[in-house]
Structure 1
Amino acid sequence: MTAFDAAAATSTSTGFRTATEIGHTELGPRPLPPLAEQRAATGLSSVDTVLDNGLRVVAVHAPAVPMVELRLRIPFAGTDPLHAARAEVLAATILTGTRRRDRVAIDTDLALVGGELDAGVDPERLSISGNALASGFDTLLDVLADVLTGATYAEEEVGGERGRLVERIAVARSQPSVIAREALQRHRYGDHPFTREMPEAADVATVRAEEVRELHAAGVLPRGSVLVLVGDIEPAEAVARLGSALSVWSDEREAVVLPDLPHVTGGDVLFVPRAGAVQSQLRLTAQAVARTDPRYPALQLANLAFGGYFSSRLVENIREGKGYTYHARSSVEFTPSGATLLVESDTASEVTAPALLETRYELARLGVVPPTESEVDSVRQYAIGSLLIATASQSGLASQLAALVSLGLNVDWLVEHPARLARVTAEQIAEAALEFFSPTRYTGVIVGDAEQLPLLRSLGGVISS
């Protein structure tokens, strides 16, 4: 008896049809229906303005559910070697108490309106994200204003969070992916502050509460920051209520932005030894263009064809075809002054050299043998569909807009991007493939066991640290 016959027998005895039966006919598998037309959001009611305190606010009416999503992005750069450690402690403790509320009161007031707030930091910005029921919007704003202007950073709270951060950082720094990321950042950008994505545990251990308070006073500034609101709100009214709530958050200084990054230039791949490693981490990178560049839509689709989704050429080759890796992908990374392309895979040590060889081959092949019409159709559908899915929820739309607004873009850019993708021709994708995916444009790092170095050097363009 076949699996289908067994399933049919089971369904007969229970009186229900199985998924196998539903998906089959007497002539074979039931054909899939065609994809419906992909429609971008249009006619979004929004307000994009700058408050008196210099804070840019974008509010969007999206009443799918009676909630409001909030995304605040504050430029928060610093050149001091200890800035990353202090910023990490600040992000971990900014929501632990104010002059009006302790940690429990903050959590309680938010919980009573179905809300929450979280904070995080990277070398570029301090981010505060949250949501609440639309009926609790004023409470959400009041707690946010309280945190921005009255965070106290109590000694016991800083001490507790500092200890937890030290433990987490120590564990993270033992992970191969973290080692590879830090090596890549140093290789690309040297000692630029952008490379300090994770502070040293020893530096975090020295951070004092007074230093965190001083950093808050110097860096948590409205002028130059952006705040996005998305939800069941009337935009103009929401901006007015926000302006009233945050009127106490004021300063003439500008939030601190990162200096421009140097362009990534092609060159040798740096081998970073990791004794006894059973896997190698391959990271290749090249300069790309920002979202505002007219070539960006074609670059986005060319990247998908190369390694940006599961049916891409890179995945088909080194994962599905040769079994060198479980994880292989390429992506566009957006930086403060532009963008880079990143190609990454983790391979067994013994196939590190073949994996690098095949990756370079696929980079070259994308330009020499550009994506076919079938590939172009697939990546276009994937790109448009992914964007529409990502922005279908209030949370997704808010996060997408926060990233765009920080770059000076607006709601219109997001609404119009599916149409830009739809207009990209196969010829434009071929041009982007030739321009951006030539192997000579790439540099990068490989972290792995030193016994693999002779084989890698035989391929050329690999040096040791």
Structure 2
Amino acid sequence: MKQTLIRLAAPALLAGVLPAVAAAQASPPPPMEQRPVRFPTFTESELPNGLRILVVENHALPVANLNLYVRSGSSSDPEDKLGVAAMTAGLLDKGTTTRTAVQIADTVEGVGGSIVADVDQDNLTASVNVLSDQLPLAFELLSDVVLRPTFPAEELETVRGQQLAALRAALGSPATLASRTFERQAFGTAHPYGRRSVPATVSAITRDDVAAFHRAHFVPRNAMLVVSGDVTPAQAREMAGRFFGQWSGGAAPADAYPAPPARERAEIYLVHRPGSVQSSLFVGHPGLTPDNPDYYAVQVMNMVLGLSGDSRLEMVLRGQHGWTYGARSRFSRLLGGGAFSASTDVRVAVTDSALSELMVQLRRIRAEPVPQEELDRAKSYLVASFPGTVETPAQAASSLAATRLLGLPAEHLTQYPQRVAAVTAADVRRVAGQYLQPDHAVLVVVGDATQVLGRLRPIAPVTVFDVEGRPVDPATLQPAGGG
């Protein structure tokens, strides 16, 4: 039998090699030289009826993507009809005056394409994706579902059932409970971002409600058609005129965003979830308007704080203490003003420690200058990752559409790398002091109140709610399984 001998390196040799290896691992290689970003060719135009058209041209692959954005999302739900925008999106491809739901699905699938509609807080989007030789069919289908939906009663009940099931599942998630509680407390229920649908509101929506939402919000001056891929601007405009040129309607609905409630101090909102073995933490406050010129400096500051796995929140909460699998922070961008938030999930036993440390890190970045090496690393990451966000025509079109729908010029996106690279340490210190407000923040904890309430009280005043959002008297709390 043949034997294989393994010789171990001499201890003296290892003594010289191992420190060098450790040093190499501790010091990451310097960032590569930045390469210029070649943003795809794009054009903008407008039909006589007010429909804006954005075309991102790229002929590398024979595919085409159509996205019709209606600038009315869930924040446009009437206060007594929360969920109607999502219901409208779910029903767009479930029947028109010319096709049934089955015929729509068979038509688009028959050419290897797809059709989908979705909604977020600010926009409702209907999309059709096809091979580029099917572009006329894509325009025909998109115009059909957007302009001529019939909202069949039987389809409405199917979609309602699906949305109720998804909503109940989401409300069983501690992270979802935390974010919804945060929005309600940070923005207030008078603000559209402070209201969210619940099963009772979705159950009450009627076909007439959906039809009324469609009539009010699906008007050309409230929409943007985005075409990307293997298509020319001339093709896109000709087909847009052919299929959407007769679309009519009044002015775009006016936006109404009242000021969020002023907050004199940080406060904890504890959502009692009996038996939870983890606590979900969500800390923040209202943030920036979309047109704030400090956006780029805030992005760099947040990269240092908590935007990635190399940021401070992750390195401290996970790396140093081992309290969590991940911690992140973000500044959302919304028409009515976004929010700053930092979030993580931790073991119940360290709920108070993690929340306290999170607050320490928010105060630290306000109080201390960011070291140049940390600043350079943050800017390098943001600049180097930007090309990946606009790599495909669909990605570039989505990013451009988001920028334009916020009312910002295209240069706000196309000059992103240069503007990020120009941010200084002084800029970061200034915006941290101006836009991070830990002493006026909403602190949400979703967990077992019987385990954490006493340890949270030294951090900030605490108000307790149940998972339905109803106030709870702390004196009535019973441990899970208790009598």
TM over 0.5: yes
Q: From 184, 187, 191, give the equivalent of 2:185.
A: 187
Which residue matches 2:324?
325
Q: Return the letter of the residue paired with 2:460.
A: G
Which residue matches 1:111?
109
Which residue matches 2:481?
none
Which residue matches 2:251?
253
Aligned residue for 2:252, secondary structure, equals: coil
Counterpart CA distance in 2 for 1:63 and 1:292 is 33
Tell whether 2:313 aligns with 1:314: yes
Q: From 237, 240, 244, give the equivalent of 2:238.
A: 240
Which residue matches 2:209?
211
Residues 196, 111 of structure 1: alpha-carbon distance in 2 compared, 3 angstrom cutoff:
farther
Counterpart CA distance in 2 for 1:123 and 1:431 is 30
Q: Which moved more, 1:447-456 or 1:249-258?
A: 249-258
Q: CA deviation at 1:192?
A: 3.1
Aligned residue for 1:399, secondary structure, equals: helix
Which residue matches 1:102?
100
Which residue matches 2:34?
37
Q: Return the letter of the residue paired with 1:85.
A: G
Alignment gaps of 5+ in structure 1: 7-23
**Which aligned pairs between 1:107-256 and structure 2 lie closer than 5 A?**
107-192=105-190, 194-195=192-193, 198-255=196-253
Query: Is the 2:77–2:85 Cα contact (8 Å) retained in structure 1?
Result: no
Q: CA deviation at 1:63?
A: 2.6
Q: Return the letter of the residue paired with 1:239.
A: R
CA offset digits 1:251-284 (Å, max 9, x no partner): 1232453434527645323223222222111111
Which residue matches 1:433?
432
**Which aligned pairs between 1:46-65 and structure 2 lie closer than 5 A?**
46-65=42-61
Counterpart CA distance in 1 for 2:121 and 2:331 is 18
Alignment gaps of 5+ in structure 2: 7-16, 466-483
CA offset digits 1:81-129 (Å, max 9, x no partner): 3432332222111111111111222223323443222111234332213
CA offset digits 1:324-363 (Å, max 9, x no partner): 1112100111122323211111111111110011111111
Counterpart CA distance in 2 for 1:83 and 1:298 is 39
Aligned residue for 1:84, secondary structure, equals: coil
Q: CA RMSD in A?
A: 2.6
Counterpart CA distance in 2 for 1:321 and 1:229 is 47
Which residue matches 2:453?
453
Which residue matches 2:291?
292
Q: Return the letter of the residue paired with 1:41.
A: R
Q: CA deviation at 1:377?
A: 1.5
**Which aligned pairs between 1:86-101 and structure 2 lie closer than 5 A?**
86-101=84-99
Q: CA deviation at 1:45?
A: 3.0
Q: Which moved more, 1:307-316 or 1:166-175?
A: 166-175
Query: Is the 1:113–1:135 Cα contact (8 Å) retained in structure 2?
Result: no
Counterpart CA distance in 1 for 2:336 and 2:78 is 21
Q: Which moved more, 1:298-307 or 1:124-133?
A: 124-133
Aligned residue for 1:35, secondary structure, equals: coil
**Which aligned pairs between 1:330-369 and structure 2 lie closer than 5 A?**
330-369=329-368
Q: CA deviation at 1:309?
A: 0.5
Counterpart CA distance in 1 for 2:429 and 2:60 is 40
Query: Is the 1:268–1:461 Cα contact (8 Å) retained in structure 2?
Result: yes
Counterpart CA distance in 2 for 1:45 and 1:263 is 43
Residues 121, 398 of structure 1: alpha-carbon distance in 2 compared, 3 angstrom cutoff:
same
Aligned length: 441
Counterpart CA distance in 2 for 1:246 and 1:362 is 52
CA offset digits 1:57-96 (Å, max 9, x no partner): 2112233322222222212254533432332222111111
Residues 110, 348 of structure 1: alpha-carbon distance in 2 compared, 3 angstrom cutoff:
same
